[in-house]
Amino acid sequence: MGIETIESDELDVESVLGSAVERREDPSFITGEAEYTDDIQRPNMAHMSVLRSQYGHATIEAIDTSEAEAMDGVIGVYTADDLDVPGEMPVGWLLDSLETPAHPLLADEAARYQGDGIAVVVAEERYMASDALDAIDVDYDRRDAVTDPKEAVAEGAPVVHDDLDDNTAFDWEIGDEAATDDAFDEAAHTVDVDLENQRLIPNAMEPRATVAEYKPDTEELEVHMTTQNPHLHRQLMSGVLDVPEHKIHVVAPDVGGGFGSKIHHYPDEALASWCAMETGRPVKWTATRTETYLTDAHGRDHVT
């Protein structure tokens, strides 16, 4: 999509304020000329696929990648043991009472949700990377899982993170509790209602995608991705990969929807970037629709 520059002295403020603004971005979309992340091609580009846990909670006893590594077109197969990154996935928004357990790019000792990344394959073609996932043998010890938020905080619920006492992420209180209790006690009528704002999946037309390219001569990382917040992605990825922020260039081409889910920094974008640095080749990853359902940040699921 082209960018049009308008000089400030050419702008008629009165024609803008209080009136409809003509949309300039539509023609490229309705004529099929928009360029999305998956449309981007690079010379000698490889493709990445992610093996994900089919269990909601399981200990990883062993991973055998030898058969996948021997398949035609496979450049590399990597697990948590191979990643030499200094950082983990950060929490973008923090509260004083927030529990922040470890979140590695790939599950190391346990899978903690269905879709948790276990290994990645980099291959010459997308289908080769995808086919090689079936050749990776993972020995799981299944554990009890919990999916309902109400059940997750009940006494005796399976704890997702072994280093925490329970599944409470944070306890946030605001206002005057005593004054609130007094107001209810003095009210002529009170009503008790259980409210559940259902869980939803942000299902944009375009799934998440990344094209990462490392330039060793300048030690710069160029990452095209489906992001709603390129500056945040650059900042967080810098800490994960230990690449100076000014050496990371995040580019957001045309993005096919997001509904807020593409604001977050996910492991997959950092994994594609690490694979590009490790292999010395541009690496593309595009989520399947199933991966979108399993791994994109869900919304709501409020129980009141």
The domains located in the chain, with CATH, are: 38-146+201-303 (3.90.1170.50)
Reported for 82-90, long-range contacts at CB under 8 A and 24+ positions apart, including other chains, are: 83/274, 85/240, 85/241, 85/242, 85/270, 85/274, 86/240, 86/241, 86/242, 87/239, 87/240, 87/241, 87/242, 88/240, 89/240, 89/265, 89/266, 89/267, 89/270, 90/236, 90/239, 90/240, 90/265
d(CA 39, CA 206): 11
User: Cα dist. 242→62, 157, 209, 246 in Å?
Assistant: 28, 37, 22, 12
Nearest CA to 108 out of 162, 67, 59, 57 is that of: 59
Which pLDDT belongs to residue 19?
74
The pairing of beta strand 46-52 with beta strand 283-286: parallel
Which pLDDT belongs to residue 13?
65
Nearest CA to 135 out of 66, 61, 68 is that of: 68
Nearest CA to 253 out of 278, 292, 291, 222 is that of: 222
Which tokens in the block code for residue 25?
A: 């971005």
Residues of the chain with pLDDT under 70: 1-16
CB 274 within 8 A of CB 213: no
Which pLDDT belongs to residue 95?
83
CB neighbour burial string for 7-34, b if at least 16 within 10 angstroms, e if fewer: eeeeeeeeeeeeeeeeeeeeeeeeeeeb
Tokens 């979108």, residue?
292
Which pLDDT belongs to residue 30?
92
d(CA 106, CA 124): 22
Paired strand residues for 64: 137
d(CA 279, CA 22): 46
Residues sharing a CB contact under 8 Å with residue 263, sequence separation 6 or more, in sequence order? 92, 227, 228, 229, 232
Which pLDDT belongs to residue 97?
87
Nearest CA to 282 out of 227, 213, 190, 230 is that of: 213
CB 208 within 8 A of CB 281: no
Which pLDDT belongs to residue 21?
76
Which pLDDT belongs to residue 2?
55
d(CA 83, CA 275): 9
